Amino acid sequence: MSESELISAIRYNVLQGRRDKDDEGLEDDLVGEPGVEELVKEALQKEVPVHDILLHGLTEGMKQVGEKFEKKEYFIPDMLSAAEAVGAVMETLEPYLLQEGTASKGKFLLATVEKDQHDIGKNIVGIMLKGAGFHVVDLGISVPTADIVEAVEKEKPDYLGLSALLDTTMRHMQETISLLQEKGLRSNLKVIIGGAPTSPEFAGKIGADAHCKDAFAAVSTANKMASGGGANG
């Protein structure tokens, strides 16, 4: 495939939400055809500029997915599949981007707080953020406050996303923020919270930087923060 064919195949496969060759995508008979992962690897071998892969392939693909979602042609599963495909190759591209001096959008730590087993929402946020070009570290579910703070100390993320589905567990968000402050880890960190019982008011009360009502809000809030804008997701 030529350079431009590769780029347009990457874009097409982002729209099809095909991470790799085993993915069925949306159209018929795609299984076995190269997916985003295989195509990006081939493009890198052929020394297609990383910047072009990212901008004209992946980002443009995601933009079109977003437009289709707006028009109600695409739905959440389509968004997630596309984001997952993009997120998977972002890890492959990271060293190249560093080499080129393209700054990553930043590192995002995610966790569902202590005694809360719910992770569907958090996982969706993780997939969408990866697809949007953030480096995501997911600490999992029911993560004790001390462990979250320890991970912040170790990973030095730019963002911390805390999730809770229960009104009984959301108080651990406040504990987390207090402990971060105690340890002097709060100032260079944006804390974003989400989950059914949480609200912008609650975020304000506990001193979080933003509350997001869903994964879309999380992505747009993080994007605003990454480009130096304010945060009021």
Place of tokens 């599949």: 81
Are 128 and 81 in contact, with CB atoms under 8 Å apart? no
10 binds another protein (CB under 8 A): no
What are the DSSP calls for 128-141, one per residue? Answer: HHHHTT-EEEE--S
Q: What phi and psi values does residue 37 have, to the nearest 5 degrees? A: -60, -50
Residue type for position 189: L
Residue whose CB is less far from another protein, 31 or 55: 31
Instruction: Give the one residue of 120, 146, 153, 181 binding another protein; rule: CB under 8 A.
Output: 120
126 binds another protein (CB under 8 A): yes
Are 163 and 129 in contact, with CB atoms under 8 Å apart? no
Report the distance separating Cα 131 and Cα 160, nearest Å: 17
Please work out the total of residues on this chain that contact another protein, with binding judged by CB under 8 A: 19
17 binds another protein (CB under 8 A): yes
131 binds another protein (CB under 8 A): no
Query: Segment near another protein (CB under 8 A), from 51-59, 71-79, 144-152, 178-186?
Result: 71-79
123 binds another protein (CB under 8 A): yes
Instruction: Give the one residue of 5, 24, 153, 182 binding another protein; rule: CB under 8 A.
Output: 24
116 binds another protein (CB under 8 A): no
Instruction: Give the one residue of 138, 145, 148, 163 binding another protein; rule: CB under 8 A.
Output: 138
Instruction: Give the one residue of 11, 12, 50, 84 binding another protein; rule: CB under 8 A.
Output: 84
Instruction: Give the one residue of 14, 109, 124, 203 binding another protein; rule: CB under 8 A.
Output: 124
Are 131 and 84 in contact, with CB atoms under 8 Å apart? yes
77 binds another protein (CB under 8 A): yes
Residue whose CB is less far from another protein, 23 or 209: 23
Q: How far is the CB of 62 from another protein (least distance, A)?
A: 16
80 binds another protein (CB under 8 A): yes
Query: Segment near another protein (CB under 8 A), from 76-84, 146-154, 161-169, 180-188?
Result: 76-84
**Nearest partner of 102 among 62, 64, 61, 59, judged by Cα:** 59
Q: Which tokens hold the place of 134?
A: 């953030």
**Nearest partner of 105 among 65, 57, 59, judged by Cα:** 59
Binding site for another protein (CB under 8 A): 17, 23-26, 75-78, 80-81, 84, 119-120, 123-124, 126-127, 138
